[in-house]
Each structure stands twice: as structure tokens, then as C-alpha cells.
Amino acid sequence: MTAAGTPVAVVTGASGGIGAATARQLAAAGYHVALTARRKDRIEALAAELIAAGHRATAYALDVTDRPAVDTFAASLDRCDVLINNAGGALGADPVATGDPADWRTMYEVNVIGTLHTTQALLPALTASGDGTVVILSSTAGHAAYEGGAGYVAAKNGARVLAETLRLEIVGTPVRVIEIAPGMVKTEEFATTRFRGDEEKAAKVYAGVAEPLTADDVADTITWAVTRPSHVNIDLLVVRPRAQASNSKVHREL
């Protein structure tokens, strides 16, 4: 399914936001991008767009929490040089006292176990490539707590620790482990999903912030990190908009 000689980059959660933007940039950088997400129509449209622009792309409907499906997907690839673990997200912004344990479980499943599934399934191919790269999209939420964020903060800490530990464990193999931790990024779905479709609450996240990061800004940092020479490992890249000094210190012009 992939052209021999063309490096393959797998992007999870490629149906929109940071995932789709990263797929576009990696395709432009010469990768055959294997787009995965649950929503098949979206990744098929993106694959068609990329192919029409002269790039290489394949769409594969996948839920990263479904391990047998992840294994079948991994077996379908001729090679894998880069894995972008982007699938993830937040559900709810309730305090610890009242947060829904089901939300916490779902966030852990997608952000941590999903990343574990794809990383385990593709590590043999990444190693066999002789120059593999694993990227884990964590978040600034994986580095500091904030009120109402505990379930997401816990899950993103899980993703961060996965990256840190894997890097220690596979040192000496030809695979890099890169963690990208974005702060406030305005995408079409992140806040809307978090607040279950409540557009008013979602809009408040970005209210008065002149320029939150865009999906393209983050894709740019990912593509930069991935395209460094192979001996250069960007362990951790934290990226925030200028208006955000910390998770809870945001400059708003209201």
C-alpha cells in the first residue's frame, strides 16, 4: 500500500485539528501519511485532498482504544518511520469533588491506553526502519494542575510519563521519543468536545485571548522536531500562545 522508499508517518486522530494539520505538513515534507481516526469520511476526504496535491496518503478507520484493530492496522503497513500519537482530548472541567469517574476513565483510555496500543503495535516497525520517531502529544496539562482540570491533567500526566519511560527503556535503539506539550490551542473541536457541545462554554475558554495557538502552529513544532537529524532528540517541547504564561495565567482583553 505504500511506495517503497517513501518514509511512512502514522498520524492518529487525523480527522481534524492538530492531527489533520500535522498530516498536511508531514505530507508536504515528503512522508506517506497514514491517516487514522474513527471518522472514516473525514480522513478519506483529507487523503483525497493530499493525493490531489501530489502527496502520498492513505486513510484507515481506527479507534486507538481497540487493541485488536490497532494490531490489524499495524500489520497492514509495509513500514513505519514516524508515529504521531495525537488522538486524545478532554471531557468535562469539573472539580475533583464532583467529576464523573466515567469521564476520567474515558480520558485515560484514549490519551494513555490508546497511545500505549499504537506505540506497542508499531515499535517493531519503527525499530526496523533504522531511524524511527515516536511523537506523543501531551499538553501543558501534563505538567501542571489547574482547577477543574484534574481528570485531563491526570491523563496527560500518564501520556507524559509514557514518553519519559519509553525514552529511558529504548535508548540504544534507533528510535527517538519526542513529547510535544501544547498550551492553549484553538481548534474547531477541543473545547466543544470538552463541554459536550455547549458552544457558549467552549467560547469562554478563548474569550479575549488575542491569538491562541492554531492547529498549524502546533503541527509546525511537530514537523520541525520530526525533521531534525536523527541523532537530535527533542525530548520535550512546550509551546503556548504569548498571551498564556501558565495554565491559569492568561491575558484576556475583555
- Beta carbon nearer to ligand 8X3, 114 or 149: 149
**Of the candidates 2, 5, 3, 33, which has an alpha carbon nearest to the alpha carbon of residue 19?**
33
Of the two residues 13 and 149, which places its CB atom closer to ligand 8X3 in the complex?
149
The distance of closest approach from Cβ of residue 251 to ligand 8X3 in the complex, given in angstroms and rounded to an integer, is 14
Smallest separation, CB 140 to ligand 8X3 (Å): 6
Q: Which is nearer to ligand 8X3, 87 or 184 (CB)?
A: 184
Exactly one of 31, 60, 152, 206 is catalytic; which is it? 152
Closest-by-Cβ residue to ligand 8X3 is 139
First to last CA, the chain: 52
Is 146 assigned a catalytic role?
A: no
Nearer to ligand 8X3, 99 or 149 (CB): 149
CB of 137 to ligand 8X3, least distance (A): 9
- Could you give the CA distance from residue 225 to residue 113 in angstroms, rounded to a whole number? 24
* 242 DSSP assignment: T
**Which parts of this chain interact with ligand 8X3 (CB under 6 A)?**
139-141, 149, 152, 183-184, 247
CB 185 within 8 A of CB 142: no
For the CB of residue 248, give the shortest distance to ligand 8X3 in the complex, in Å.
Answer: 9
198-219 in b/e form (b: 16+ CB < 10 A) is: eeeebeebbeebeebbbbebbb
The dihedral through the CA atoms of 139, 140, 143, 147 has a sign that is negative
For ligand 8X3, give the closer residue by CB, 77 or 184: 184
Residues paired with residue 25 on neighbouring β-strands, in sequence order: none
Q: Chain centroid to CA 110: how far?
A: 11
Q: Mention every residue, 6+ apart, whose C-beta is less than 8 A from residue 65.
A: 109, 110, 113, 114, 117
Give catalytic residues, as residue numbers.
152
